Amino acid sequence: MGKKRIIKQTEEELLKEGEKVGALARKEVKVEIPRKITEGRIYISSSYNNTIMTLTDPQGNVLRWASAGSIGFKGTKKATPFAASKVAEATAQIAKKMGIERVAVFIKGIGSGRESALRSLAAKGLEIVSIKDITPIPHNGCRSPKVRRV
- What's the CATH code of the domain at 115? 3.30.420.80
Asked if residue 80 belongs to a domain, the reply is yes
Question: Which residues constitute the domain of residue 74?
Answer: 38-133
- Identity (one letter) of the amino acid at 76? T
Asked if residue 94 belongs to a domain, the reply is yes
Asked if residue 10 belongs to a domain, the reply is no
Asked if residue 3 belongs to a domain, the reply is no
Pairing assessment for the beta strands 127-133 and 39-46 based on DSSP bridges: unpaired
Q: In a structure prediction context, what are the per-residue pLDDT tens digits for the chain, which is 150 residues long?
A: 566 666 676 777 767 777 776 666 666 556 555 568 899 999 999 999 999 999 999 999 999 999 999 999 999 999 999 999 999 999 999 999 999 999 999 999 999 999 999 999 999 999 999 999 999 988 888 888 999 998
Other beta carbons within 10 angstroms of residue 137's beta carbon come to 7
Total number of domains constituting the chain: 1
pTM: 0.74
Q: How many whole angstroms separate alpha carbon 25 and alpha carbon 89?
A: 8
Residue 132, SS3?
A: strand
Asked if residue 142 belongs to a domain, the reply is no
